[in-house]
């Protein structure tokens, strides 16, 4: 057996960097936080996110490198997701600096867990070995379970964490069972070895059951119907910046795994489950969001709907061409950009103890904080899918690919759904711009201006959304490269 070389370590360099920073944050905490501000820890974590970005940049210099006995693969695909995760992590960390202070959250654990979670997510997108994927999934999941309960003294936060943990473990069980069946059927857990075997045909029918189980497990992670039921409660209870993070980065990673499992491994039979899950997610997500009065719950349902749009792109990739896959990859980036920003606005406005998370609390925001209101309006327009925003092109590619693949029904259903969705996003804009600020909130609420880190984070998210909407080509080309590498 070959010894482990430097090249091997390079393939997990971003993960190593993140883990190292996580450890440093934990070690430094006792020295930093005595009485003073815990923000330096946060900045350290931000630095970690940037360092992992730099490490990914370094990796991108030599794409398609395998490491650790072919368990890890650095290609355009993994690089794309690493960048998305690192950026989301950076923005979410910036956005949590003040939140952590305000809500009296244990800073050391908080930042370290964000970093550790990102280690798992990064590894999910570069692992090509099902067992390693499982471990990465667990690293990511366990971190987010704890993060969801970080507002320890608040009942619904604890409740969210517990629910997420119980149901998440349940779902992970499915995934693991699927992996073992896959091993039983093919004699290997390496996706790169499974792929050719399944592609050649004549395989053990057990594979179908394995795919089903893995799909259920991953369906939970991406919050697609009917495995979405946990989402509203968990998003409502979890701290807002954590939701900003966990509604985007782990989801992107889970989509990466799903892409690998379905397409790189040439697994069969998934088309109708994906089709139905896409249709259900879009419909249930949007209808569920219509009547919500709590903006976190509303965006939770919205994220279910977006998982549905993304699955449309999966369904559209049945010919194993790059159109659908690259559309899905592009969508994860666009969705991450807009959603992380939207949740950061919520986190900024929530106030101490997250008291202000009803949509009505946003009344008159355009007058109190015009820049924040305008940013949120733009992000919501992007979630609707209005041109000149990332959300438009994301949907455009997805549905264009879907129609190319003859998915007429799903395309029509998706477009109807995005019409319905306009209604509830718009309601927030209407409340912000056209409703008077209620007098009883005069004191305290929304009085505090946005801080510099929050402002930077929000600006980044808005700029990314606009960039993807106005100049989508570069990211699209990268997504196409990623899709090509995935199918290689």
Partner 1 sequence: MTTNLHLWLIPLLPLAGAALNGLLGRGLSKRAVAIIGVGFPGAAFAWALVVASRFVALPFERIPYTEYILPWIAAGSFQANIAFYLDQLSLVMLLVVTGVGLLIHVYSVGYMEHEGGYYRFFAYLNLFMFFMLMLILADNYLLMFVGWEGVGLASYLLIGFFFLKQSAANAGKKAFIVNRVGDFGFLLGMFLLIRHFDSLNFADVFKAVSHYPVETAGAGLLTAISLLLMVGATGKSAQLPLYVWLPDAMEGPTPVSALIHAATMVTAGIYMIARSNPLFSRSPIALTVVAVIGCLTAIFAATIGMTQTDIKRVLAYSTISQLGYMFMACGVAAYSAGIFHLMTHAFFKALLFLCAGSVIHALSGEQDMRRMGGLRKQIPWTFWTMTAGTFAIAGFPPLAGFFSKDEILWKAWSTTALRSVAGPALNYTLWTLALLTAGLTSFYMFRLWFLTFFGEFRGGSADAHGHGDAHASHSPHESPGIMLGPLVLLAILSVFGGWAGVPHALGGSNRFDQFLAPVIQSSSEAMSAGQRAGEPQPEAAEEHAERNAELALTAASVGVAAIGFGFAWLFYFKRRDLPARVTAVLGGIYDTVRDKYYVDELYHALFVRPIVGISNFFWRDIDVGVIDATVNGAAHASQDVSDSLRRMQSGNIRSYAGWIATGAALVIVYMIWLGAR
- Range 392-421, binding partner 1 (CB under 8 A): 392-393, 396-397, 399-400, 402-404, 411-412, 415-416, 418-420
Q: Could you say which residues in the range 308-337 bind partner 1, by CB under 8 A?
A: 322-323, 326
**Strand pairing report for 72-74 and 65-67:** antiparallel
Among 226, 409, 438, 444, binds partner 1 (CB under 8 A): 226
Q: How far apart are CB 312 and partner 1 at their closest, in Å? A: 12
**Which CB, 63 or 269, lies closer to partner 1?**
269
265 phi/psi in degrees, rounded to 5: -95, 0
Other beta carbons within 10 Å of 423: 12
What is the number of residues in the chain?
A: 488
Cβ proximity to partner 1, 166 vs 447, nearer residue: 166
Dihedral sign for Cα atoms in the order 149, 462, 57, 329: positive
The number of residues that bind partner 1 (CB under 8 A) is: 90
Stretch that binds partner 1, among 58-66, 140-148, 150-158, 334-342 (CB under 8 A): 150-158
Per CB under 8 A, which of residues 264..283 are in contact with partner 1? 268-269, 272-273
Which lies closer to partner 1 via its Cβ, residue 70 or residue 355? 355
- In contact, 264 and 128? CB cutoff 8 Å: yes
Minimum Å gap between C-beta 477 and partner 1 is 8
> DSSP secondary structure string, 31-86?
HH-SSS-SHHHHHHHHHHHHHHHHHHHHHHTS-SEEETTTTEEESHHHHHHHHHHH
Span of 82-90, 115-123, 125-133, 467-475 interacting with partner 1 by CB under 8 A: 467-475
**Is residue 293 part of the contact set for partner 1 (CB under 8 A)?**
yes
Identify residues 157-176 at the interface with partner 1 (CB under 8 A): 159, 162-163, 166-167, 170-171, 174
Cβ(436)–Cβ(363) under 8 Å?
Answer: yes
CB of 59 to partner 1, least distance (A): 25
Minimum distance of partner 1 from residue 410's CB (angstroms): 12
Least Å distance, CB 62 to partner 1, is 26
Out of 10, 480, 482, 486, point to the residue binding partner 1 (CB under 8 A).
Answer: 480
Q: Helix, strand or coil for residue 121? A: helix
Query: Which parts of 191-220 interact with partner 1 (CB under 8 A)?
Result: 205-209, 211-213, 215-216, 219-220
C-alpha separations of 411 from 368, 399, 468 in Å = 40, 6, 22
> What letters, b where the CB count within 10 A reaches 16 and e where it falls short, cover 142-179?
bbbbbbbbbbeebebbbbbbebbbebbeebbebbbbbb
Interface characters, 28-57, with partner 1 (x: CB under 8 A) = ------------------------------
422 binding partner 1? (CB under 8 A): yes
Q: Does 156 bind partner 1 (CB under 8 A)?
A: yes
Q: 102 or 427: whose CB is closer to partner 1? A: 427
CB 336 within 8 A of CB 249: yes
Judged by beta carbon, residue 37 or residue 293, the one nearer partner 1 is 293
Neighbours of 433 (CB within 10 A): 17
Interface pick for partner 1 out of 297, 306, 348, 368 (rule CB under 8 A): 297
Q: Which of 167, 136, 270 is nearest to 210 (CA)?
A: 270
Strand-pairing partners, residue 73, are 66
Q: Residue 483 and residue 85: Cα distance in Å, rounded?
A: 17
- Examine residue 284 and tell whether it contacts partner 1 (CB under 8 A): yes
Q: How far is the CB of 206 from partner 1 (least distance, A)?
A: 7
Question: Is 74 in a helix, a strand, or coil?
Answer: strand
- In DSSP terms, which residues pair with 65 in a beta bridge? 74
Rule CB under 8 A: which of 232-251 touch partner 1?
232-233, 236
In the list 108, 117, 120, 288, the residue contacting partner 1 (rule: CB under 8 A) is: 288
Contacts of 196 (CB under 8 A, 6+ apart): 266
Which CB atom, from 310 or from 398, has the smaller least distance to partner 1? Answer: 398
Neighbours of 213 (CB within 10 A): 20
Dihedral of the alpha carbons of 406, 412, 415, 419, in degrees to the nearest 10:
180
């Amino acid at each position: 057996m070959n010894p482990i070389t430097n090249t091997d370590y390079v393939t997990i360099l971003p993960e190593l960097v993140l883990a190292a920073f996580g450890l440093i944050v934990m070690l430094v905490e006792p020295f930093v936080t005595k009485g003073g501000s815990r923000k330096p820890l946060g900045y350290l974590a931000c630095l970690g996110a940037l360092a992992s970005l730099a490490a990914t940049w370094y990796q991108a210099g030599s794409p398609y490198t395998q490491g650790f006995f072919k368990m890890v693969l650095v290609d355009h695909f993994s690089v794309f997701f690493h960048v998305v995760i690192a950026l989301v992590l950076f923005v979410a960390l910036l956005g949590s600096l003040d939140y952590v202070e305000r809500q009296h959250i244990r800073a050391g654990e908080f930042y370290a867990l964000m970093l550790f979670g990102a280690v798992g997510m990064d590894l999910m997108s570069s692992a090509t070995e099902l067992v390693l994927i499982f471990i990465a999934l667990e690293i990511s999941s366990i971190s987010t379970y704890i993060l969801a309960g970080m507002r320890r003294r608040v009942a619904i936060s604890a409740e969210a964490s517990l629910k997420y943990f119980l149901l998440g473990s349940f779902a992970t069980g499915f995934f693991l069972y699927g992996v073992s069946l896959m091993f039983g059927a093919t004699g290997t857990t390496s996706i790169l070895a499974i792929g050719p075997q399944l592609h050649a045909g004549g395989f053990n029918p057990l594979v179908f059951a394995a795919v089903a189980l893995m799909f259920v497990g991953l369906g939970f992670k991406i919050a697609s119907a009917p495995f979405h039921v946990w989402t509203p409660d968990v998003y409502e209870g979890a701290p807002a910046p954590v939701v900003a993070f966990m509604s985007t980065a782990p989801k992107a990673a889970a989509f990466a795994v799903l892409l690998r499992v379905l397409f790189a491994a040439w697994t069969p039979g998934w088309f109708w489950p994906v089709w139905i899950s896409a249709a259900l997610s879009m419909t249930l997500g949007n209808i569920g969001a219509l009547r919500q009065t709590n903006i976190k719950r509303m965006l939770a349902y919205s994220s279910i709907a977006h998982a549905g749009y993304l699955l449309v792109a999966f369904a559209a990739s049945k010919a194993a061409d790059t159109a659908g896959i690259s559309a899905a990859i592009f969508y994860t980036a666009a969705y991450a950009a807009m959603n992380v920003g939207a949740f950061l606005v919520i986190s900024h406005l929530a106030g101490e103890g997250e008291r202000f998370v009803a949509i009505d609390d946003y009344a008159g925001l355009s007058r109190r904080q015009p820049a924040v209101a305008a940013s949120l309006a733009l992000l919501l327009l992007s979630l609707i899918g209005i041109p000149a925003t990332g959300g438009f092109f994301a949907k455009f590619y997805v549905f264009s690919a879907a129609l190319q693949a003859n998915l007429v029904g799903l395309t029509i259903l998706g477009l109807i759904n995005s019409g319905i969705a306009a209604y509830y996003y718009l309601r927030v804009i209407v409340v912000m711009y056209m409703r008077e600020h209620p007098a009883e909130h005069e004191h305290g609420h929304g009085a505090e201006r946005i801080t510099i880190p929050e402002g930077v984070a929000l600006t980044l998210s808005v700029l990314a959304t606009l960039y993807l909407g106005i100049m989508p080509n570069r990211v699209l080309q990268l997504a196409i490269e990623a899709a090509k590498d995935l199918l290689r």
